[in-house]
């Protein structure tokens, strides 16, 4: 075992009638756990890469242990869970390996949404196979096989059981609400999204898991899985950034700082800083681009992938010829400070 744990979380969750985990909520997940706490847990029989289910006695004892080693957040969480009838769990990760269970997967997703680690900085390989498809309802997570019986029981009792979605990933705000952000439609931000301070996600904006924004920024379009948007950048209404799950292959697409992806535009290559893609223009790796010099004269025609990661570029479509052009653009996009104030 390493000197200190990679990550740790005490959570409370939901299991189906077979005892299988559907989801777990971790109020205060931790990374880079201290050697003192790691040693104390090991001495109490909690060591290595493990998922420990906790009854009320186990929660009480764990809380006392955490209090003795200066971990008041974990102590208060354990104390709050002692009287609950819902299942509790201690998840310990001794390294950044792929999640092998639902509790491990939920801990990793919440590490991202709590801003303890950025997208691509923790291993989520195989997470789709680990997570069950769940009905997310007004009464919490329900196994799909158990949903009809629960719906009938609710109707018999004079209640309507609302099913808000059926998905492997819940909405982030049921688990984490980061500080300094605005989210107009919470169902459009999945757990595992990273929203930096000063981010605004408008009603039609969408942020997938393992993706997000450095902040500040205005998100009115789609940030697909794996995509990260730099500080001061805007994703316009109806715009979309191609992720690794939507045809991007192994390429990690991103936007640098102070960029603008215009309304209804699309991006299939990573951009550097201070770049603009005009409204309605979709740039993919294979798009033929005419590169222009400062005087607007043709320099060459290349595929857009050759411009990946470069800064100070303006992509536009020539309204007369229809060809895609690229020229230098050294004026950064200035965000409206009042609009992005989230105090």
Query: Can you tell me the distance from the alpha carbon of 175 to that of 114, in angstroms, rounded to the nearest whole number?
Result: 9
Q: Could you tell me the pTM of the whole model? A: 0.90
Q: Which CATH architecture has domain 136-167?
A: 2-Layer Sandwich (3.30)
Residues 63-91 pLDDT 10s = 999 888 888 889 999 999 999 999 999 99
Residue entry with tokens 């290349």? 302
Residue 283 neighbours by CB distance under 10 Å: 22
- State residue 4's pLDDT score: 86
Measuring CA to CA, which residue among 16, 32, 44 is closest to residue 94?
32
User: Among 41-50, 163-172, 273-282, which is the least confidently predicted range?
Assistant: 41-50
Q: Given a cut of 80, is residue 3 above it in pLDDT?
A: no
**pLDDT classification of 111: cutoffs 50, 70, 90:** very high
The answer to whether 195 touches 207, Cβ cutoff 8 Å, is yes
Residue with tokens 């790691």: 38
- What is the per-residue pLDDT for 248? 46
Report residue 96 as tokens: 């950044």
| pLDDT given at position 339 | 52
Burial 86-113 (b: 16+ CB within 10 A, else e): ebbbbbbbbeeeebeebbbbbbbbbbbb
> What pLDDT, on a 0 to 100 scale, did the predictor assign at position 294?
74
Name the one residue in this structure whose structure tokens are 């990260």: 228
What kind of fold does domain 7-127 have according to CATH? Alpha-Beta Plaits (3.30.70)
The confidence score (pLDDT) of residue 300 equals 86
- Domain ranges in the chain? 7-127, 136-167, 172-328
pLDDT above 80 (res 342): no
What are the phi and psi torsion angles at 115 (to 5°)? 65, 25
Q: Of 104, 214, 220, 325, which residue is the catalytic one?
A: 220
Written as six digits, the tokens of 253 are 């697409």
Lowest mean pLDDT: which of 67-71, 135-139, 235-239, 254-258? 67-71
* pLDDT tens digits along 288-340: 999 987 777 778 899 999 999 999 999 999 999 999 999 876 543 444 555 55
Q: Identify which has the larger pLDDT, 127 or 244.
A: 127
pLDDT of 123 over the 60 cut: yes
pLDDT value at 115 more than 80? yes
pLDDT, residue 30, reads 94
Angle among Cα 20, 26, 29 to the nearest 5 degrees reads 130
CATH topology of domain 172-328: UDP N-Acetylglucosamine Acyltransferase; domain 1 (2.160.10)
Cα 235 from Cα 334, distance rounded (Å): 14
220 in catalytic set:
yes
Mean pLDDT of 102-127: 96
């Amino acid at each position: 075992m390493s000197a200190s744990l990679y990550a740790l979380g005490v959570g409370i969750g939901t299991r189906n009638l077979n005892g299988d985990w559907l989801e777990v909520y971790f109020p205060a997940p931790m990374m880079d756990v201290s050697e003192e706490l790691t040693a104390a847990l090991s001495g109490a029989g909690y060591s290595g890469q493990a998922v420990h289910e906790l009854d009320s006695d186990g929660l009480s004892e764990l809380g006392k242990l955490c209090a003795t080693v200066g971990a008041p957040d974990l102590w208060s969480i354990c104390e709050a869970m002692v009287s609950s009838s819902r299942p509790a769990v201690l998840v310990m990760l001794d390294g950044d390996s792929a999640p092998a269970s639902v509790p491990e997967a939920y801990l990793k997703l919440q590490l991202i949404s709590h801003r303890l680690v950025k997208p691509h900085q923790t291993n989520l390989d195989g997470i789709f196979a680990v997570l069950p498809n769940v009905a997310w309802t007004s009464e919490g997570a329900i196994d799909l096989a158990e949903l009809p019986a629960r719906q009938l029981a609710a109707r018999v009792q004079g209640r309507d059981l609302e099913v808000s979605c059926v998905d492997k990933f819940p909405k982030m705000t049921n688990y984490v609400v980061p500080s300094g952000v605005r989210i107009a439609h919470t169902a459009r931000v999945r757990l595992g999204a990273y929203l930096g301070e000063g981010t605004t996600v408008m009603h039609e904006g969408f942020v997938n898991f393992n993706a997000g924004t450095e902040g500040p920024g205005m998100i009115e379009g789609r940030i697909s899985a794996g995509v990260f948007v730099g500080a001061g950048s805007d994703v316009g209404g109806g715009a979309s950034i191609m992720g690794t799950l939507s045809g991007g292959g192994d390429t990690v697409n991103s936007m640098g700082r102070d960029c603008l992806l215009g309304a209804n535009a699309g991006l299939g290559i990573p951009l550097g800083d201070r770049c603009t893609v005009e409204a309605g223009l979709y740039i993919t790796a294979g798009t033929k681009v005419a590169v222009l010099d400062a005087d607007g004269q043709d320099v060459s025609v290349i595929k857009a992938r050759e411009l990946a990661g470069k800064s100070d570029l303006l992509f536009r479509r020539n309204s007369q010829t229809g060809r895609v052009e690229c020229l230098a653009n050294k004026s950064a996009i200035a965000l409206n400070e009042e609009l992005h104030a989230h105090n």
